[in-house]
Amino acid sequence: ASYPVAKPKDFPVIREIKPKVQATMDGNVLINALASAAEYCAGDETRPVLNGVAIFPGEKLDIAAGDGFRMAYQTISVSFPIEEPIIIPHEAVSLISSLWRHTTPDSVSGDSLVERVLSKRQVDVAFAESEKGSPAKFQVGFGNVTVQVVPIQGTPPNFKQLIPKDIPTNVQLFPGELERAVKRLSTVAKDEKGIVRLSWTKDTMTVSASSDEVGKVEGTLPVQADNPGEIALAISYLLEYLNGKEGLVTMG
């Protein structure tokens, strides 16, 4: 088989940057966190700061993204001593994540198979400030791959401020069970502007939706909750979150 290809000389040469900050860290932790948050970026070009994943400085990095209706926020145990937040465009995050998955890892240390599996796959990260008409650059390198990204200009929202400090109740459940229950109600929920209602006691959750034609339809699943409660959610957002989740999930 043959495939059309572009000539390497048609692409600009990646210029070396003069990093103000650089570090080597666990690539799986960083890139997985960025990729998970990218799903929550906005697609509205009029709000550019919401079209990327924000990296907030600190002893541990905070990774966050949101579209005005939902958000993702995660603190990861890696250090990158930046002074101001950096916003990575979601397209760049998707590219980095894809290259990370499809690039052959460097040789890892360890004599046994277990040691090799558990060894951390490293990534080199650097940030260079703008100078002499050149924009700021965020650079990620692993194996024979180097990606340079021009961050989105602007200040991201204070996502952490949107998270309640005191959560009145926590509900633990298996995401697959909730996903199946919600999917069974999807047709009815779409007739009610895509809303599904969750209500729970300390050991049971009831998932319900209603429409004028069908009436109310509901299902139940086992949960473990601190206190009874209820909430209404957009079914599309809930299913997007539950997709692919494993283990126990905590809702608050």
State how far the Cα of 207 lies from the Cα of 189, in Å rounded to an integer.
11
Number of domains in the chain: 2
Q: How much is the pLDDT for 184?
A: 93
- Among 2-16, 24-38, 153-167, 210-224, the least confident range: 2-16
Does residue 95 share a domain with residue 211?
no
Q: How much is the pLDDT for 176?
A: 96
User: What range defines the domain where residue 18 resides?
Assistant: 8-162
83, burial (CB in 10 Å: exposed 0-12, middle 13-18, buried 19+): exposed
Q: How much is the pLDDT for 215?
A: 87
- Of 132, 162, 192, which one is at a domain's C-terminal end? 162
pLDDT > 70? residue 129: yes
Residue 64 lies in a domain: yes
Does residue 229 share a domain with residue 134?
no
pLDDT > 60? residue 116: no
Does residue 32 share a domain with residue 88?
yes
Residue 211 lies in a domain: yes
Q: How much is the pLDDT for 157?
A: 94
Q: How confident is residue 190, by pLDDT bands cut at 50, 70 and 90? A: confident
Percent of the chain with pLDDT over 90: 69
Does residue 122 share a domain with residue 42?
yes
Residue 3 lies in a domain: no
Single out the residue of 230, 232, 221, 224 nearest to residue 176, CA to CA. 221
Does residue 246 share a domain with residue 154?
no
- How many CA within 13 A on the CB side of residue 194? 6
- Of 111, 138, 162, which one is at a domain's C-terminal end? 162
Does residue 178 share a domain with residue 157?
no
The model's pLDDT over 66-105, given as tens digits with 9 standing for 90+, comes to 999 999 999 999 999 999 999 999 999 999 999 999 998 8
| CATH number of 60's domain | 3.10.150.10
Does residue 199 share a domain with residue 129?
no
pLDDT > 70? residue 114: no
**Across residues 15-31, what is the average pLDDT?**
94
Contacts of 73 (CB under 8 A, 6+ apart): 37, 62, 63, 64, 159, 160, 163
The model's pLDDT over 28-40, given as tens digits with 9 standing for 90+, comes to 999 999 999 999 9
Residue 114 lies in a domain: yes
Residue 27 lies in a domain: yes
204: β partners: 222
State how far the Cα of 71 lies from the Cα of 65, in Å rounded to an integer.
6
Single out the residue of 173, 176, 197, 186 nearest to residue 242, CA to CA. 176
